[in-house]
Amino acid sequence: MANLTGPTEESKQLDQRAGPMEQAEDERALPGRWTICAMLFVATTINYMDRQVLSILKPVLSGTTLHLQPFFHGWPTVERSINMNEIQYGNIVWCFQIAYALGVIFAGRLVDRLGCRRGYPIVTAVWSLSAMGHALVTSVFGFGVARFFLGLGESGNFPAAIKATAEWFPPKERALATGIFNSGAGVGAILAPFIVPWVALHFGWRAAFLVTGVFSAIWIVWWSVRYRSPQNLPDMNRSEVVKAPAVLAIPWWHLLKYRQAWAFILGKFLTDPVWWFYLFWLPGYFSKEFKLDLSHIGLPLIVVYVCSTIGSVFGGWLPKGYVHLGMSLKAARLAAMLTCACLVVPIAFAGGLHSIWTAVALLCIATSAHQGWSANIFTTVSDMFPREYVGTVVSFGQVGGALGGAIFAQVAGHVLQFTGSYVPLFMYSASAYLIALVLLRTLAPGLKPAELASN
């Protein structure tokens, strides 16, 4: 979001009739695009594993003293907890969210300026080193600092991934591709409950923050060797690559004049905090409400996030299903988002349940619907803006989502510290998507493309 120069809008002088999505409807599918999607999926998986470790260890760090094996010789054989309370945990999450918001301001611009091939490995290296840095922490303040730098790095994942998707996939496949790589969020959240408790119980909680570093290093090499912009591939048939329309250069802040940008920003502001809630507070919810310890908390988390992964892919496919019923692509996108928003509503009852598997069932539906929603709301950016601005507009939405998450973290920490009740948090989670969809439809009716002008 810093000084955006360059890149494009479908110049009205070139075509007064069609927006970016309509002009691109006939783009040919590029060979190798699903390999790119696979790399995006792996990066998102690693990203979410890194951010999930702390929430899984929260019951341990909040007061339980575990007799664990030391990871390094010389570390104490008993790893003492940090003894953080709910408000302190909320503050740690707040540090992550604020850094995420600040990082996204520059991440979208970094990716637009350097391109995906160079920009993506940089942000991946930052978040991976920060995640491993948690192993050195000895206080609540230290966790706040570590989470701050983790947020700075992780903020670049989605602007880069959405931009790569816009470069490689035609509009009719973008929601599906986004749904597939976005399902890495669920897979990362699935793998973390498998790996983190085992590592913590055998080697100590500090070691649990180190396990993903090797995966990140391998991914950075893989991406750097494999990824190219379609226009730069030496063996690409030039007729297969759609030439970008003439560029309309505008400063980045001019994009904030458009209702379409605010529709996306507000949609993320309202709904992203719900996903952060599921990531950062579900382990504590299961521990408090159903008395699950570290050795038993993994299974319900795994079930929930398996379902969320399925929901991401299904939600990405859902617009194509509606298209087959005769809807236009944009109408199908909005219908898919309405479906997901309605499916979230039953989570309102989760705060008062006494059966863990009833709670898991409701959470499975809600997290699946969230991921389906997420796959589609991300894709609305490339529906409404030309691809050269996608990374920047996505970064606007990520800032909005992170700020919403920061506010939610403070509210959640205080609500849980003083009332001990999850009911208000689940009530908000149930209603956020329908409110966001109403705002989206009001500000960007029909997902009409933004008609960018230089002044």
In terms of C-beta density within 10 A (0-12 exposed, 13-18 middle, 19 or more buried), how is residue 36 classed? buried
Instruction: Place 59 in a pLDDT band, splitting at 50, 70 and 90.
Output: confident
pTM for this model (two decimals): 0.72
Instruction: Place 273 in a pLDDT band, splitting at 50, 70 and 90.
Output: very high
Assess contact for 400 and 368: CB atoms under 8 A. no
- Which of 451, 434, 409 has its CA nearest to residue 11? 451
Give the mean pLDDT of 197-206: 84
Q: Which residues contact 107 (CB under 8 A, 6 or more apart)?
A: 119, 123, 155, 156, 159, 160, 395, 398
Assess contact for 392 and 4: CB atoms under 8 A. yes
Greater confidence, 144 or 163? Answer: 144
pLDDT in tens, 312-366: 888 888 988 999 999 988 899 999 999 999 999 999 999 888 899 999 999 999 9
Task: Return the CA Rg of the chain.
Answer: 22
pLDDT in tens, 30-50: 777 899 999 999 999 999 888
Report the amino acid identity of residue 365: I
Angle between helix 116-133 and 213-226 (nearest 10): 170
Instruction: Place 188 in a pLDDT band, splitting at 50, 70 and 90.
Output: confident
Domain covering 35-228+252-446 in this structure, CATH number: 1.20.1250.20
Please tell me the distance from the alpha carbon of residue 236 to that of residue 114, in angstroms, as a whole number. Answer: 21
Rounded to an integer, what is the distance from CA 153 to the centroid of its chain?
A: 13
Q: What is the pLDDT of residue 178?
A: 82
Assess contact for 22 and 328: CB atoms under 8 A. no
Instruction: Place 232 in a pLDDT band, splitting at 50, 70 and 90.
Output: low
Domain boundaries, the chain: 35-228+252-446
Give the mean pLDDT of 119-146: 89
Instruction: Place 73 in a pLDDT band, splitting at 50, 70 and 90.
Output: very low
Write out the two tokens for 132: 């491993």
Write out the two tokens for 380: 């609305």
How far apart are the two ends of the chain, measured CA to CA in Å? Answer: 18
Q: What is the pLDDT of residue 249?
A: 64
Give the mean pLDDT of 184-206: 84
Q: Residue 453: left if φ>0, alpha if ψ -120 to 50, beta else—which one?
A: beta
Angle at 126 between CA 124 and CA 132, to 5 degrees: 100
Q: Indicate if the pLDDT at residue 239 is higher than 70.
A: no
Rounded to an integer, what is the distance from CA 359 to the centroid of its chain?
A: 23
Highest mean pLDDT: which range of 107-121, 172-186, 386-400, 403-417: 403-417
Least confident of 225-239, 267-281, 322-336: 225-239
Q: What is the pLDDT of residue 71?
A: 40
Phi, psi of 16 (to 5 degrees): -75, -15
Least confident of 74-78, 172-176, 224-228: 74-78
User: pLDDT above 70 covers what percent of the chain?
Assistant: 85
